[in-house]
Every structure is written in C-alpha cells, then in structure tokens.
Chains A and B, each alone.
Chain A
Amino acid sequence: MGQQSRFLKIVALLGFIFLYAPIVSLVIFSFNESKLVTVWGGFSTKWYAELFRDPQILEAAWVSIKIALISATLAIVIGTVGSFVLIRFKKFRTKGLLSMMITAPLVMPEVIIGLSLLLLFVAMQGLIGWPGGRGMMTIIIAHSTFGAAYAAVVIQSRLVDMDLSIEEAAQDLGAKPVRVFFDVTLPVIAPALLSGWLLVFTLSLDDLVIASFVSGPGASTLPMVVFSKVRLGVSPDVNALATIIIGIVSLGIIAAALQISRSKKHGAER
C-alpha cells in the first residue's frame, strides 16, 4: 500500500509540475531584461512599460473587456431562465430541444460555432438587413450564446441542490410565481450566478477562434491581437500581459476560496 501511494504521489507531483512550469516560466521571463525570452539577462520591468505604451494592445483590451462584460451578463440571463425552466417546469413541448441546445455548445468545436454563426449573420444581413455589419455586437451575440451553456451548467447544479421547501413556503404564503422567483429563488442561487458570470467573462476574454470568425474589420479583440503577435514568435511584452492576467485570476480565485471556506465555517458554527 505504501509503495502504491508513493507512486501515486510522484505521478501527481509530476502532473502539477507539468501544469505549472509553463505558467511560472511566463511570469519569470516577463521580468527579463533580454529580448530573448528564454535567456536570462537581468531583472527589468521594461516590458510592462512597453505593453502599456502599445496603443493596439490597449485598445484591443478595452474592446475585449466591454464585450466580456455585456456577454457575461446576457449569458447569465439566458442561462438562468433556461436552467430554471428545465429544472422547475414540468413537461413542456420544447423541453428536449432546449436541454439539447443548452448543453451542445459545450462540446461543439469552436471552429464550427464560429463558422456557423458567421454564415447566419451573413444570411440574415442579406434577408432582413440585420445585424448591419460585423463587429462588437456579433461577437457579443456569439459569446453570450456559448456562455449561456457554461452558465447553465453552474446554475443548474445549484438549482438542483436548492431546498425546494423555501419556494413552496413562499407559494403557500400567497406569492405569485414571478415574485417567488425574484424574491426567493434568485437570492439563493446568487452565488452560482456570480461564479457563472465570472466564468463566462473569462471565457469571453479568452476566445480567439469564434471572435475571429464573427468579427468585422473594426473590432479586434485582445486574443486576436495577441495571436497575430505570437504567430511571429515569442515577444516579452506578451509575457508581461500574461503575468498581469495570471495575477488577477489568482487573486480572484484565492479570494473566492477564502470566501467559501469562511462561509462554510460560519455555517458550521450555526
């Protein structure tokens, strides 16, 4: 048994090294004086300065953040209503269809989602003159659609776990279904909405393939700019950008974990 668990620990340790070594090296070499990304030339923060002087990157970052904010919010609305309908409503005609449509984007290759949406936009443009050119709006529609699928996974599991008796109590006290939803259900599933929102926000901020298909000449997102830079080879300012993103994400995850463990302890004390 001891031998077996030692073997497991070594494999797991190697696995974690495999997961983290590239991330750590990104961070280390973002502080490298030398332009050669893999040769250490002394400590420097000049690539960060360079990053913040690059108008193309800054503009793309702003476009991406705007898209991610709106997409995440829309995705949560669609995902919440979709999950609620699927979990709480008894049989309805489109239930099977909805359940299929809300999970399928999770396993669909991105190139197919991107191509199909673009062709839809082009066809609609020809038929009804909408959406009137491609750009931020078409990216937002695309991101909220696949984002809704991810949001629904998070929200559905919370809805399933939720204690039904609270909703029933509100109903027995005479609250109408709409009121029960907004006053009882929504506050209870709020943490799931928040984590779903963050998940979609991150996915939207990160998406290259779908955005490349549905975007127009006007709107370049951050991943699109990074991809065209990276294709030409490694560049240290991309490392600096990566370090900033990793820093924000780690802080967020650690804060969330602390919050969860604190509320768990709180719950245990009661």
Chain B
Amino acid sequence: MSQEETLNGKLPGGAFLGRALHRIGLRGRGLVIAIPVLWLFLFFLLPFLVVAKISLSEAAIARPPYLPLWNWDDGFLNITLNFGNYLFLFDDPLYLSAYIESVKIAAVSTVITLLVGYPMAYLIARAAPDTRNILLMLVILPFWTSFLLRVYAWIGFLKGNGIINNILMKIGLINEPLVMLQTDFAVYIGIVYTYLPFMILPLFANLVKLDQSYLEASADLGARPVTTFFTVTLPLSASGIIAGCMLVFIPAVGEFVIPALLGGPDTLMIGRVLWNEFFSNRDWPIASAVAIVMLVVLVIPIMLLRKAQAAEAEVQ
C-alpha cells in the first residue's frame, strides 16, 4: 500500500464516528486512556480483590454461600477476618500434596516440551524461508483447532482398546493392553501435546535472530558442532528458553481439562481441586483460598516470564 493510498483510503464510518465522539465531548487523552483502564480494572483486577476478600470469609449455607466480611452493628463497623480457610489448606494434606503434585507434573512436562520443542524450533529457524513458513503454519494450525477436542483425541489413542494398544498387540509387542489412560503418564502426554506450540514459537523467534557469524567463528576456532551448540547457541537462546518454559509451566500448573479427561481419580492437580471445591462442594471461601495460594506459587514464574520477554524485546 502506498502512502497516498493510505491517506485517502479512509474508513467511511471513521470520520463520522470521530466527529460524533468529539461532539459529545469525548476528546483528550484522558478519556481514551480511560476505556481500557476502566474495563480491565473492573473485570480483571477488581475480581482478584473480591477473591481475596471471600477467601477470608466463612462458608455458609446461603446464597451466596459465604458470610459477609463486615457488617454494621449499632453504628459500629464489624470486620470479621477469618484465616481459617488458609489454616485449613495447610492442615489438610490433600491440598498441600495437590500443590506439590501440580508443580511437579507441570515442571516435568515443561522439561519434556522443551526437549521436543527445541530441535523443532531450531530446524524451523534454519529452514529456507519458504519451507520455514510452511513449518511454522504446521506448528500454529493445531493451536487454532479446539483444545478440548485435541485432548479428547488422546482418549481414543490411549485407552485400553485404543489405537496404541491395538497397534502394539497386532505387531506382537504386548499381549495385554497397557493401562495408559487415567494415569499421570496420560496427563504428561496431554500437557506436552497441547502446549508444544507455546514452547516452539518463542524459541523460534529467538533462534531465527541468532547471528550466524558467532557459529562460524566458533567453528573456525575449531569447536565441534556439539561444543558450539552448548557454548554458543544454547546460552544465546536462554531468554527464549525461559519464555517458552514459563508459557508452558504457568498454565500447566492450573490445568483442569487435561487431568479431568486424561488423568486418573488420584491425579490431584490444584486446578481440579479448585473446580471440585467450587462446583461439587460449593465451598466458595476455600476455592478462593486455593486460588490465592496458587497465585502466590505462580508469582516467581510470572516474574521470570516478564523478564525473559523484556530481554527478548530488547534484542529486537
């Protein structure tokens, strides 16, 4: 598009809308800034304060199912803070082990995703531009198709009379079907599978910028390819690795659908615990406390991600 075209090719409604906004006095930066700030404050930040508040209240059989935190009593403001929900979380081994289990499952899956994703991202970054675009599209395409249905597909693969067992029995490797569905193994597969694009894309974005002359210099100085990889390529892609890993780890910790569909009844992940507290037990204060502690667990990974993304942006 040439510059002239852009200037003249205006949206027909644009000027009109602009004038209309102007007429009702909606002008100036402040009002423009207010639109996204107010919306996000109201529907993103404020909800967390509500969660924090309800995590400190007491459950009750009522609608909504919790007692108010403050009430006016003869002109006095009574505030009853109840830390019992948090004490309960640390008292009952179920919650603690669910947190540990979630972090463990998320961490192991992140490492596996990295091991699978790094070579793929590396190859895509090194491919000729035409091939590169096709390969990138192949990575992105599953991300656009339904997440729920892709997890569902693995049920057909992993179950007792599923595709993998059928193949293994046909070629005579096993006599009895392996139990794969409803195990932690299935949860690992599900997480690696659904989050692989989240790992590959930031890694690719990093590796594609890698200055080839470093690698040549290393080779000229007599380093073998493996040495070059570990001493040059890997350190230079550190921020891409951290960004990719955190993009997998953070949502995986709170994952609900994958453990619910692929995991067994004893696969306790914290997202599932929260879901059950809320939907089955209708204990909103405990569910809120579970959410707040989960956020605290995720603070460090989220900060790592922001740092890595800032570092990536700087290179660009």
Give which listed residue, A115, A148, A233, A245, contacts B278 with CB less than 8 A: A115
A109/B139 in contact, CB under 8 A: no
Report the Cα distance A242→B288, complex, angstroms.
34
| CB of B77 within 8 Å of the partner chain | no
Q: A166-B7, A188-B6 are in contact. Are A92 and B33 (CB under 8 A)?
A: yes
Q: Out of B21, B124, B139, B271, which one reaches A111, CB within 8 Å? A: B271
* Nearest CB in chain B: distance from A78 CB, A: 5
Q: Does A241 contact B (CB under 8 A)?
A: yes
- Cβ of B61 < 8 Å from any Cβ of A? no
Contact partner of B7 among A119, A169, A246, CB < 8 A?
A: A169
- What A residues does B6 contact at CB under 8 A? 166, 184, 187-188
> Taking A85-B32, A98-B40, A107-B305 as contacts, is the C-beta distance between A123 and B50 under 8 angstroms?
yes
**Is A50 in the interface zone, CB < 8 Å from B?**
no
Give bound CA distance, A232 to B18, whole Å: 53
Which of B84-92, B93-101, B143-151, B168-176 has 4 or more CB atoms under 8 Å from chain A?
Answer: B143-151
Q: Are A148 and B64 in contact (CB under 8 A)?
A: no
Question: Which residues of chain A have C-beta atoms less than 8 A from B32's C-beta?
Answer: 81, 84-85
Q: Which of B157-210 contact A (CB under 8 A)?
A: 157, 159, 161-163, 166, 193, 196
Question: Is B291 among interface residues, defined by CB-CB distance under 8 A?
Answer: yes
A109 and B278 in contact, given A183-B10, A187-B9 (Cβ under 8 angstroms): no
A120 to B153, CA, bound (A): 35
Q: How far is the CA of A105 from the CA of B250 in the complex (A)?
A: 12
Q: Which residues of A contact B261 (CB under 8 A)?
A: 230-231
Within 8 A of A (CB), among B124-156: 124, 133, 137-142, 144-150, 152-156
A9 interface residue per 8 A CB criterion: yes
A223 near B: Cβ within 8 Å? yes
B54 to chain A, nearest CB (A): 6
Closest to B313 in A: A160
Tell me if B235 is interfacial: C-beta within 8 Å of chain A: no
* Chain A residues in 8 Å Cβ range of B75: none
**Beyond A89-B33, A107-B250, A261-B133, is A182–B141 a contact (Cβ under 8 Å)?**
no
Q: How far is the CA of A9 from the CA of B120 in the complex (A)?
A: 8
Interface size class of B (residues with CB under 8 A): 35 or more
Interface status of B3 (Cβ within 8 A of chain A):
yes
Nearest chain-A residue to B162 (Cβ)? A38
A213 to B3, CA, bound (A): 48
- Give the interface SS of chain A, mostly helix, strand, loop or mixed: helix
Binds B, one of A17-25, A41-49, A52-60: A17-25
Interface residues of A, count at CB 8 A: 95
Q: Check if B59 is an interface residue, CB within 8 A of chain A.
A: no
**Bound complex: CA of A107 vs CA of B46, how far in Å?**
17
The distance from the CB of B238 to the nearest CB of chain A, in whole angstroms, is 19
Q: Report chain B residues within 8 Å CB of A87.
A: none
**A111 and B145 in contact, given A98-B36, A116-B47 (Cβ under 8 angstroms):** no
Known contacts A109-B294, A115-B274, A145-B40; is A182 also within 8 Å of B7 by CB? no
- Rounded to whole Å, the gap between the CB of A199 and the closest CB of chain B is 8
The yes or no answer to B22 lying at the interface (CB within 8 A) is: yes
Taking CB atoms and an 8 Å cut-off, the chain A residues in 218-247 that contact chain B are: 223, 226-227, 230-231, 233-234, 238, 241-242, 245-246
Pair B155/A234 contact, Cβ less than 8 Å: yes
Establish whether residues B287 and A178, one from each chain, have CB atoms under 8 Å apart when the complex forms.
Answer: no
What's the least CB distance linking A214 to chain B, in Å? Answer: 10
Binding site for B on A (CB under 8 A): 1, 4, 7-9, 11-12, 15-16, 18-23, 25-26, 29, 36-39, 77-79, 81-82, 84-85, 89, 92, 94, 97-98, 101-105, 107, 109-113, 115-117, 119-120, 122-123, 126, 141-142, 145, 148, 166, 169-170, 176, 178-179, 181-184, 186-188, 202, 205-206, 208-209, 212-213, 223, 226-227, 230-231, 233-234, 238, 241-242, 245-246, 249-250, 252-253, 257, 261
List of 7 A-B pairs having minimum Cβ-Cβ separation, nearest first: A109-B254, A182-B14, A116-B47, A82-B36, A22-B153, A101-B40, A11-B119
Please list 16 pairs of residues, one from A and one from B, whose beta carbons are closer than 8 Å in the complex, sorted by A's number: A15-B120, A20-B138, A23-B142, A26-B149, A85-B33, A89-B29, A103-B306, A104-B302, A105-B44, A110-B251, A110-B254, A112-B295, A116-B51, A178-B22, A179-B15, A205-B146
